[in-house]
Amino acid sequence: MIDRSPSSLVKAVSRQLQDVMDPELTFLSVTDMGILRDVKFENGHIVCVITPTYSGCPATEVISEDVLKAAREIDPDAEVEVVLSPAWTTDWISLEAREKMTANGIAPPEGSSHDKAFLTGDGHTIPCPICKSKETKLISPFGSTPCKASFTCNACLEPFEHFKCF
Amino acid sequence: MHALLRLGDDALVLAQRLGEWCGHAPALEEDIALTNIALDLIGQTQSYLTLAGSLDPDAPKTDDELAFLRSESEFKNLLLVEQSNGHFGDTIARQFLFDQYALLRAEHLAQQTFDLDAAAIAAKAVKEIRYHAAHSSKWIIRLGDGTSESHSRIQKSIDDLWAFTGEMFAADDVDIAGSIAGLLPDLSALKTQWDVEIDRVLVEATLIRPKDGAMKTGGRTGVHTEELGTMLAEMQILPRTHPGASW
For B136, nearest residue in chain A (alpha carbons): A141
For A118, nearest residue in chain B (alpha carbons): B131
Domain assignment present for A150: yes
* Chain A hits for B130, Cβ within 8 Å: 116, 119
**Tens of pLDDT along B11-68?**
999 999 999 999 999 999 999 999 999 999 999 999 999 999 999 899 999 999 999 9
Pick among B14, B32, B99, B124 to test the A interface (most A CBs inside 10 A): B124
Domain end among A82, A113, A134 = A82
The span from the CA of B88 to the CA of B82, in Å, is 15
Does one domain contain both A67 and A104?
A: no
Instruction: Decide if A141 touches B, using CB distance below 8 A.
Output: yes
Domain assignment present for B34: yes
* Chain B hits for A52, Cβ within 8 Å: 43, 124
The span from the CA of B125 to the CA of B47, in Å, is 10
pLDDT at A1 over 50: no
Most confident of A104-118, A119-133, B190-204: B190-204
Alpha-helical runs (H) found in chain A: 6-17, 59-74, 95-103, 116-120
Domain assignment present for B246: no
Domain assignment present for B42: yes
**Tens of pLDDT along B189-220?**
999 999 999 999 999 999 999 999 999 999 99
- Mean pLDDT over the full length of chain B: 97
Domain count, chain B: 1
Sign of CA dihedral A120, A122, A124, A127: positive
pLDDT at A131 over 60: yes
Domain end among A27, A58, A82 = A82
CATH number assigned to the domain comprising residue B172: 1.20.1260.10
Residue A42: exposed, middle, or buried by beta-carbon count in 10 A (0-12, 13-18, 19+)? exposed
The span from the CA of B94 to the CA of B161, in Å, is 7
Does one domain contain both A11 and A74?
A: yes
Does one domain contain both A119 and A139?
A: yes
The span from the CA of A30 to the CA of A24, in Å, is 11
Domain end among A43, A63, A82 = A82
* Chain A hits for B37, Cβ within 8 Å: 142
Host domain of residue A143: 90-163
pLDDT at B138 over 60: yes
For A149, nearest residue in chain B (alpha carbons): B33
pLDDT at B166 over 60: yes
pLDDT at A111 over 80: no
**Tens of pLDDT along B59-105?**
999 999 999 999 999 999 999 999 999 999 999 999 999 999 999 99
Host domain of residue B99: 2-241
Domain assignment present for A1: no
Domain assignment present for B118: yes
Residues 6+ away with beta carbon under 8 Å from B144: B150, B151, B154, B155, B202, B204, B205, B206, B207
Other beta carbons within 10 Å of A135: 13
Q: Are B130 and A150 in contact (CB < 8 Å)?
A: no
